[in-house]
Amino acid sequence: MDAELNGTFIHLGGFVEMVKYRYLYFVVLLTVYILILCTNCTIICLIWTHRNLHQPMYIFIAALSLNSVIFSTVLYPKLFIDVLSPKQVVVHSACMFQYFLYYSSGLSDFLLLSAMSYDRFVSICKPLQYPTVMGRRTVVVLLTLAWFLPACEVAVATVLNSKQKLCDFTTTGIFCNNTILQLHCVKSTFLTFYGLFIMINLLVAPVIFILFTYVKIFIVTYHRCVKVRKKAAETCSPHLMVLLSFSCLSLFDVIIARLESDLPSIVRLIMALQILVYNPLFNPIIYGVKMKEIWKHIRKLFYQLVKQGRH
């Protein structure tokens, strides 16, 4: 078995009423995937092409959108194949690769949100030091850490998972996430503690840091004029909305695998679909509408497209 592990097929058993709703699944997923690509690529292109958006805050937003594109491209094409196939299976090695990209891109978001909160803290609380503190080198370092650190830590977890012997070959999910831990013959204590280390290091610690910086921001702005408080609310509220939604969905991902909660299949499917849809699709919408400078360029682009369509 160990010698043939890389050729093992794993059945994805999280789909509900597949035969009955196969084409509905496909149309919905394809529509959502196209919207995700269009909205996130629009945000990336706007930030790339407009010099007034070449600021740390917008660069981090573009990085979040890039993560959403990677995250979705890792999951959606395989889902298209699954919903149209009579059997929903994946080779073990391909499952591990999806697992790696899923978690490295997802956990990277928390570090990017941490970088954004630090950027807002320096901008609002120490405006005179902002050009020096948040220089180009700082932005490059923060982006490198946000992408490199999760990739390294998740790579170790992926290798450890791939070496575990499997006694079951049917997951309760629709893609390869922590549900594959339930397939192992024996629970690895080291793997459990290492997973806990990753969760604390790349999820809990960034969330605590983000909440701490925003509390400091609100304390500082409380004693300033209404204009400063309004500006802080405009730039910080989108980040907090994204953080709240992403934290809740990440918590669900941990609960179903680590605590092995016995949830109905339909509940698991709905929550898995929310993970697939909510952040990748609504993050660019939230930032596009809430961030005034981005929204201004989006409206301008929309008017140009309408004008060209009339001609």
Reduce the secondary structure of 238-249 to three states and give it as a string: HHHHHHHHHHHH
CB atoms within 10 A of CB 12: 21
* Whole-number pLDDT of residue 139: 93
Domain boundaries, position 295? 5-310
Torsion of CA 183, 253, 191, 102, to 10 degrees: 90
In angstroms, how far is CA 55 from the centroid of its own chain? Answer: 22
Measured distance CA(208)–CA(230) in Å, rounded:
24
Q: Is 163 exposed, middle or buried (0-12, 13-18, 19+ CB in 10 A)?
A: exposed
Total structural domains within the chain = 1
DSSP one-letter string for 119-178? HHHHHHH-GGGHHHHT-HHHHHHHHHHHHHHHHHHHHHHHHHHHTSPBS--EESSSSSSG
* Whole-number pLDDT of residue 180: 84
CB atoms within 10 A of CB 197: 13
**Which tens digit of pLDDT belongs to each residue from 101-134?**
999 998 999 999 999 999 988 988 888 888 889 9
Which ranges of the chain have pLDDT less than 70? 1-7, 227-228, 255-263, 289-290, 306-311
Q: Which residues contact 290 (CB under 8 A, 6 or more apart)?
A: 234, 237, 238, 241
DSSP-assigned beta bridge partners for residue 276 = none
Torsion of CA 187, 191, 197, 201, to 10 degrees: -120
Torsion of CA 166, 171, 177, 180, to 10 degrees: -20
* Whole-number pLDDT of residue 311: 60
pTM score of the predicted model: 0.87
Give me the residue label for tokens 């990753």: 198
Collapsed DSSP state (helix, strand, coil) of residue 89:
strand
CATH code at 114?
Answer: 1.20.1070.10
Collapsed DSSP state (helix, strand, coil) of residue 80:
helix
Give me the residue label for tokens 């901008």: 123
Measured distance CA(92)–CA(8) in Å, rounded:
5
